[in-house]
Amino acid sequence: MTPSSHEVLAKPPFRGKLLIDGAWHEAADGQTLERRSPAHDRVVGIYAQAGVADTERAIAAARRAFDRGPWPRMKGAERARVLRAVAEAILLRKHEIATLEALENGKPVAQALAEVEGAADLWHYAASLARQLHGESYNTLGEATLGVVLREPIGVVGVITPWNFPFLIVSQKLPFALAAGCTAVVKPSEFTSGTTLLLGEILQAAGVPAGVVNILVGLGAVVGETLVTHAEVDMISFTGSTAVGKQAVAKSAATLKKVSMELGGKNPQIVFADCDFDAAVDAAVYGIYFNAGQCCNSGSRVLVQESIAERFAAAVVERSKDIVVGDPLVAGTQVGAITTEKQLATILSHIEAARRAGATIALGGSRMDREGMYVEPTVVTGVEPDMAIAREEVFGPVLSVLSFKDLDDAVTLANSTLYGLSAAVWSNDFSTCLQAARRIRAGTVWVNTFLEGHAELPFGGYRESGIGRELGRFATEDYTETKTLHMHLGARTDWYVPQ
């Protein structure tokens, strides 16, 4: 059972160390980092904070574990057994993980619990892929040739994650890298490191060998940048903002390592006049307030066909008034706190800029007057396509409502930002849905639903929303190199012919 808010807050802060080469360490220079709960403004985590020296030790440990350790050499079936044990252990500790996630991130604990369960499913799915990974053979190259294409684990992977879904996002990456036989150095966001350290305990208990997964709490500019630039790291799997992702890609170029980037979004929900009106209103509200709008996949733009635009906006405003914003540890809370002070300031400045640009704040628009960092559910109407609020990622509970004439207009508007992560189409005419879905440049298009996900379905972005895809049946392949074995059978004809 999830403990009460009072019980949780009465406990001492979670204390964590760095996991390097199978043992827990303080930082070499003794530095620590404190996390305060954004909803209660109390210290909830105290962590050893890694510096460059710790990062280099962790990379060396991952390198040794890859070059000489058992993990990459094990049978897929053996790796699968360990990954399944991790999945089961996550479920056994799900309340503990969810509570710490809610404290550090500010999200409702019930939502954190659902995410932890979803994460366990990803570990199970990756276990199934560990036994599927295979290459190809060519027996069609002539009598003297046999070609075999091998898939080999790429090596040491630097895993860098953000603060909005810490446990879920590390589980979108790490189990697939491990299934392929890679080793890793993981750097969670400095704001939400606790649950990744709990995962470290679980990995050790499940039998992941020393050095295979190293976990470093620390700053992006120190730990993150060392991972990105280090010659012994073969790949970076990054989720975070487009701005930092671009910097990471640029800096990784010096070593030409592989990069996988899951970045920001400005995702449109396109609402046609013939849709199921109530379902679309519900999805508009859910799509922007879930996780306080701090989702790469938030539906932060609703594009509504002109004939129903006014009625739709009014219905969204009405429903938004009923959203329960409050303490993430209290049952029934739908929207929790904003996770960081910087994000709070960013959200408020976007709202102010929209106001100055001439948009109407139809609901909310301010920080809430209570303990913790909360923003009112906010609906902005009268938004024009060239306004910043229509183009830039706000990453908060702020919905922009725009209108369109017809399908062509809707698609043009949908594709009018530099992002391309996800979108939704709402219509009862399947032909309209499919025509729009095929023309929208985004990695995921939902049809008459929003923000659903399955391990089987790939996830990632077009354009400035990222590079590569996670999940799906090719997820493990992303963590591999391809090697060609070109074999000659029988006597070879000499190139040199004596004159």
For ligand NAD, which is the closer residue by CB, 34 or 306?
34
Angle between helix axes 166-180 and 94-105 (nearest 10 degrees) is 130
* Minimum CB–partner distance for residue 441 and ligand NAD (Å): 15
Q: Where are the alpha helices (DSSP H) in 93-239?
A: 94-105, 109-130, 166-180, 194-206, 225-229
For ligand NAD, which is the closer residue by CB, 211 or 396?
396
* Minimum CB–partner distance for residue 73 and ligand NAD (Å): 30
Return all residues near 240 (Cβ < 8 A) that are at least 6 apart. Answer: 160, 161, 162, 189, 262, 263
Report yes or no: 128 and 80 within 8 Å, Cβ to Cβ. Answer: yes
* Minimum CB–partner distance for residue 264 and ligand NAD (Å): 4
* Minimum CB–partner distance for residue 164 and ligand NAD (Å): 5
For ligand NAD, which is the closer residue by CB, 5 or 161?
161
For ligand NAD, which is the closer residue by CB, 293 or 364?
293
By beta carbon distance, the residue nearest ligand NAD is 220
Give the distance, in angstroms, between the CA of residue 81 and the centroid of all CA atoms in the same chain: 25
For ligand NAD, which is the closer residue by CB, 89 or 347?
347
Q: Is 262 a catalytic residue?
A: yes
CA angle 230, 234, 239 (to 5 degrees): 85
Task: Using alpha carbons, list the distances in angstroms from residue 279 to 115, 308, 389, 399.
Answer: 23, 14, 25, 17
- Beta bridge partners, 260, equal 237
* Minimum CB–partner distance for residue 57 and ligand NAD (Å): 18
* Minimum CB–partner distance for residue 58 and ligand NAD (Å): 15
For ligand NAD, which is the closer residue by CB, 104 or 262?
262
Report the SS3 class of residue 146.
Answer: strand
For ligand NAD, which is the closer residue by CB, 127 or 236?
236
Report yes or no: 281 and 391 within 8 Å, Cβ to Cβ. Answer: no
Report yes or no: 327 and 5 within 8 Å, Cβ to Cβ. Answer: yes
* Minimum CB–partner distance for residue 434 and ligand NAD (Å): 25
Residue with tokens 């620590």: 32
Whole-angstrom Cα distance, residue 329 to residue 335? 11
Q: Is 433 a catalytic residue?
A: no
* Minimum CB–partner distance for residue 263 and ligand NAD (Å): 5
Q: What is the DSSP letter of 232?
A: T
Enumerate long-range contacts of 399-402, CB under 8 Å, 24 or more apart.
Answer: 399/284, 399/288, 399/299, 399/300, 399/301, 399/302, 399/316, 399/320, 400/300, 400/301, 400/302, 400/354, 400/359, 401/302, 401/304, 401/309, 401/312, 401/313, 401/316, 401/362, 402/301, 402/302, 402/303, 402/304
Name the catalytic one among 296, 376, 393, 433: 296
Report the SS3 class of residue 14.
Answer: strand
Residues that bind ligand NAD (CB under 6 A): 160-164, 169, 187, 189-190, 220-221, 224-225, 228, 239-241, 244, 247-248, 262-265, 296, 393, 395, 421, 461, 466
Name the catalytic one among 262, 376, 464, 470: 262
Whole-angstrom Cα distance, residue 140 to residue 24? 53
For ligand NAD, which is the closer residue by CB, 99 or 343?
343
Which residues are designated catalytic? 262, 296
